[in-house]
Structure 1
Amino acid sequence: MNSLNILIVDDDRFVVSALEQKINWTSLGIQQIYTAYNIRQAKKIFEETTIHILLSDIEMPQGSGLELLAWIRSEGFNVQAIYLTNFADFNYAQKAIELQSFDYYLKPIEFDKLEFIIKKAVNKVKLSQIKENAIKVGQYWQHNKEELVEHFWHNYLENNDTLAREEIQEQLRIKNINYSLNDCFLPLLLDFFPYKLIDNKGIISIFDKENNFHNKLKSIMMETFKNDSIRLDGVLKSSTTKDEYLAIFKLTDNAFEASSRDLISSCNQLIATINNQLKCDVQCSIGTSNPLNKIQAAVKALQVARKETIDFRNTIFCFETYNTNVNNYVEPNLQLLEHRLEDGNRLSFINKCYQYLTNLLDKNALSHHVLCCFRIDMTQLIYTHLKKKEILANKLFQGKISDLLLEQSSRSIDDLMIYISYLVDVSLDYMEFTNSQKSVVNTIRDYIDQNYQENITRTSLAQIVYLSPDYIARFFKKETGISLVNYIIKKRVDIAKDLLTNTNLPIHSISDKVGYENYSYFTKLFKKETNYTPIEFRKMVYSKSETS
């Protein structure tokens, strides 16, 4: 039990001293006695330490004890207040009762009677502390219980081996979880789509901004399903992907069969709330209710069915309606789509892809396999079109953005359309850029001018502008009248001439600075361009400066 502190407040110092000395505080369980002679001093003590019992006069020059108690209540301090007064005034007593004072004692003080009143106040404080501790223990146990339950579900469902009934019962016993094997549970799979493409140049994720996503999701789900005949017993994060969560509901009545209509209605509400509060798209996949020893297999079947079933974001999939028929891929009119690309008609190309997918969905002919086959065809179509323009598609689409969009593209119709739109937009935009050969030439020139000291080759330049090495070599010479190799040599020699003229650097250092590690080779190229060796050039410059 925590030690107790008392504060005595009275403007009469003799009264304060008498109370300190004539009451056996130790026997009452009071460890520390604080004193104050006005309200200002009393407030300061309350702000600096914990006070359990207040023993105060009412009438004081700098403010009454009732004003002090009103302030104590407004600040939220939990204190048992005993008043001492010379006045048997009903208004005082009434006000003290309104402020929930513990007792009201008329002076003169009879210390044995006052000690009895204080003892009752001490007992009330101790009882209050016991209740507070019980609440804290209950809250801790409830929180710990939720963690134990979720830990049980995580271990049970992530186990690759099917657990025997005895093994399940042993796990329940160890964790002290009140489940029976006959209890029925319902799995609900939540697939989140947290990524957003920004102007084809960057991707943001709601998970990067949301620090407490798991707890907020659990809170939303508890509120959404509070009126259903099911109880949320766990929200588990997938161990393989951060985009997937699994909710486990316990049927509160085993005779109850979860109504599909009610569940779908609640899931629609859940989707709307997640869209609004978490700013994220989601798909809900409703499993079937099963007893505890069969729920592991039911969850795995739901996960497989969900992966094979393709739909839009923010939709609901019911395992009961799962179609196990194998859908064969029938390719779209690739020639028509190719013409749309050649015409640069990106909107028409995207619309044709969208119509193809939605038609399959309406016919229940769209599966994960069909979606992936279509994605391969569209990717090859776009890559082939780029190759005709001598653009290196594998270089144009390398990087985190393309990799993530490709990874996400098989999850929904929306995600595949985002990926295809990205490929088309980037491709056609870059073709417009390459059609203006001056823009490409300027890009190459700028790169050479800034990186002349590096090992620059046609291949490395091709990777910068995503074009084939032969192609950039041809049009660079066509636009500038000089070959790439000779442009690089000329740039390096010009820089070397400047360094020879304006610095005292050794020639071998200048050779390194302009990208030639081989001093002899540098000398040979320099003489070919200027008719002088580097040494001769420097002497000539010095000679001219001396004569001038």
Structure 2
Amino acid sequence: MELSILIVDDDKLLVDKLEETVQWEKIGISMVFTAYNIRQAQKLLEEFPIQFLLCDIDMPQGSGLELLEWIRDNQMEVECVFLSSYANFAYAQKALRLSAREYLLKPISNQDLEAVLSRIIEETREKRERRSAEEQNLGQQRKGKTEFWEDFFRNPSEQERMLAQVLEEGFYQETDVLILEVIKIFADDKDINYKKDLSLFNFVIRNITTEFFENNEQVMEAVAQVSDYEWVLVFRNLGEEERFLEASGDLKKHLNKILPQRSCMYIGETRPLKETAVGWKQIEIMEKKILPGTDGILCERDISEQDQMLSGNAAYRLPPWEIWQKTLHNSEDLDGVCRNICDFLKETFAKGVLTIENLERFLRELEQLVYCYLGEQQMSFSQLFDSREFDRRERDSFHSLDAAVGFVEWIFGTIKGRGNSRRSQEDVVSQVKDYIEGHLNEELSRGILAKMVYLSEDYVSKLFKNTTGMSLPGYIANRRMEKAKDYLEHSSLPVSRIAMEVGYSNFSYFSKTFRDFTGMTPNEYRNHMTKNSSDKK
């Protein structure tokens, strides 16, 4: 590793002399930086990897002690040697408190300065080599532990044997206590970004969570990936459990911000190492049976041993479907029925019987209610709902009570939106065309157009094709090219600006599309139309 030093002194002649006459390479320094005040020094320290500081103390724009205090506050690993004209005890005392390595008095010979710096550089090099070896060893240990725990969670039948083996080998002690925390992401393996998302998820969970807990002085034993969308965080001998739970809550909020999909967190109880298999089974039961609360976090300690949900005997609370169906039939009070259904879900959750299994049954029955209502309104399910989006939102509803309520509200909001805008097929196509015409310079996807008319993407696409004989993408491209032709003929706008005005951010792609459409480049078309106009005159 190349080492560098920063010389800071308001005496420019002294700085230049030290830079030119000290045998830096001989003592192991590859790069020498210089500064004449604290501000310059701070800028260099922020921009470059500097390991050593040779600094005056008494300077007009801020003292060297202030600079070293700033370095310590910013947690920079810099070894400092002070070079002062004053044998001031207070200065020396503060320098010692800030972990300065030496306090030297001016003037000092190059030979003496080189001897001091050489010793400090060698000690620092040895310390960093030891730390590097320790970190490498720790990294190997962590890798070994990660592999062990991934095997452990993926092989239930081998768990007891594996625990006995690591105890026998001294990898762990019988007195060790562990706590497991599971992070599960609700993602779609059919999504076109599936592999890209997997890479992102793995990076986030393995790196962000490790850093997050280390910053809270809670070091993880391992991060074990047990499936594409599920990781187990293993902690040992944590100590303050309340602090750990608080940090886990903060981590969950952080994941909500940085991940595009919803996630759930399941936190087990602290157990002796030999009971880890039991703890893992308990978390698996929690995942399969219990719906987390509003924050998407479920703690085992909040669930009693006799809890109906864990015993699997939670009775299904039959919703008043017939009453809701009659209300929809007689008054079409969509808002009222939606509110009643959401309240029913919240009450069921509060009673402790909204298990995953019961929620699955509830949503199947809700779907039947929706089918019946749409049938009465002479609408089909596929008209309103895109099956892919519906399935994704339904899957997300198992994330938490809030997500389940949100799914119900989305269903009724979509139905209400369609009910408020009933019109003939021709009216729908006309509205889509009008929207396209007014937004040619914006993104025009199937999803955007479908939301605008409260219909599913597939239904809008088929309806448009059957009515106009053109596909939606084909019609949009056609209108953009016609608009571009109009701009080229009747305006002096640059071609690059015209491309933007008709929705193309890539100029080359616009030119190619225009040529495919007209047989000419945009400039050729403009010149051609200008010539034709002149000939007519």
- 130 and 389 in structure 1: CA distance in 2 versus 1, 3 angstrom threshold: same
Give the counterpart of 1:301 among 282, 297, 306: 282
Within 5 Å, give how 1:92-103 maps onto structure 2. Answer: 103=104
- 119 and 171 in structure 1: CA distance in 2 versus 1, 3 angstrom threshold: same
- 445 and 117 in structure 1: CA distance in 2 versus 1, 3 angstrom threshold: closer
* More deviation, 46-55/394-403: 46-55
Report the number of matched residues.
Answer: 408
Within 5 Å, give how 1:327-406 maps onto structure 2. Answer: 327-329=314-316, 331-342=318-329, 343-406=331-394
Partner Cα distance (2:432, 2:86) in 1: 93
Partner Cα distance (1:97, 1:225) in 2: 30
Specify the alignment match of 2:428 in structure 1.
443
Within 5 Å, give how 1:68-147 maps onto structure 2. Answer: 78=79, 80=81, 103-104=104-105, 115=111, 118-143=114-139, 145-147=141-143
Partner Cα distance (1:404, 1:365) in 2: 24
Deviations along 1:473-515, whole A, 9 cap, x unmatched? xxxxxxxxxxx99x98xxxxxxxxxxxxxxxxxxxxxxxxxxx
- 121 and 303 in structure 1: CA distance in 2 versus 1, 3 angstrom threshold: same
Partner Cα distance (2:315, 2:89) in 1: 88
- 137 and 172 in structure 1: CA distance in 2 versus 1, 3 angstrom threshold: farther
Within 5 Å, give how 1:173-322 maps onto structure 2. Answer: 178-180=171-173, 183-190=176-183, 212=204, 215-218=207-210, 221=213, 232-241=220-229, 244-251=230-237, 269-270=246-247, 273-274=250-251, 277-279=254-256, 285-314=266-295, 316-318=298-300, 320-322=305-307
Partner Cα distance (1:321, 1:221) in 2: 32
Letter of the aligned partner of 2:414 in structure 1? V
Letter of the aligned partner of 1:122 in structure 2? S
Deviation at 1:136, TM superposition (A): 4.1
Secondary structure at the counterpart of residue 379 of structure 1: helix
Give the counterpart of 2:313 among 326, 332, 335: 326
Letter of the aligned partner of 2:235 in structure 1? F
Deviation at 1:305, TM superposition (A): 3.0
- 161 and 105 in structure 1: CA distance in 2 versus 1, 3 angstrom threshold: same
Specify the alignment match of 2:421 in structure 1.
433
- 303 and 53 in structure 1: CA distance in 2 versus 1, 3 angstrom threshold: closer
Secondary structure at the counterpart of residue 313 of structure 1: coil
Deviation at 1:115, TM superposition (A): 4.2
Deviations along 1:228-270, whole A, 9 cap, x unmatched? xxx75344455242xx5433332469xxxxxxxx85x557635
Deviation at 1:376, TM superposition (A): 0.8
Deviation at 1:384, TM superposition (A): 1.9
Partner Cα distance (1:55, 1:144) in 2: 39
**Identity of matched residues, %:** 12
Q: TM-score when scaled to structure 1?
A: 0.55
Segments of 5+ residues of structure 1 without an aligned counterpart are 84-88, 196-204, 254-261, 452-461, 473-483, 489-548
Deviation at 1:430, TM superposition (A): 1.3
Deviations along 1:376-410, whole A, 9 cap, x unmatched? 11101101221232322034212543221111223
Partner Cα distance (2:49, 2:354) in 1: 69
Letter of the aligned partner of 2:181 in structure 1? L
Deviations along 1:36-56, whole A, 9 cap, x unmatched? 99979xx99x99997979799
Deviations along 1:414-441, whole A, 9 cap, x unmatched? 322222222222123213322x44xx32
**Backbone CA RMSD of aligned residues:** 5.8
Partner Cα distance (2:354, 2:369) in 1: 21
Give the counterpart of 2:403 among 408, 412, 415: 415
User: Contact conserved, 1:6 with 1:32, CA < 8 A, in 2?
Assistant: no
Letter of the aligned partner of 1:269 in structure 2? E
User: Contact conserved, 2:271 with 2:279, CA < 8 A, in 1?
Assistant: yes
Partner Cα distance (1:34, 1:359) in 2: 69
Secondary structure at the counterpart of residue 158 of structure 2: coil
Secondary structure at the counterpart of residue 162 of structure 1: helix
Segments of 5+ residues of structure 2 without an aligned counterpart are 72-77, 189-196, 437-454, 470-537
User: Contact conserved, 2:4 with 2:32, CA < 8 A, in 1?
Assistant: no
Deviations along 1:44-102, whole A, 9 cap, x unmatched? 9x99997979799x9xxxx999999789969966465778xxxxx86699989987665
Deviation at 1:225, TM superposition (A): 8.8
Partner Cα distance (1:36, 1:329) in 2: 74
Partner Cα distance (1:194, 1:465) in 2: 22
Specify the alignment match of 2:447 in structure 1.
none
User: Contact conserved, 1:4 with 1:52, CA < 8 A, in 2?
Assistant: yes
User: Contact conserved, 1:312 with 1:412, CA < 8 A, in 2?
Assistant: yes
User: Contact conserved, 1:267 with 1:284, CA < 8 A, in 2?
Assistant: no
Partner Cα distance (1:66, 1:271) in 2: 45
- 362 and 55 in structure 1: CA distance in 2 versus 1, 3 angstrom threshold: closer
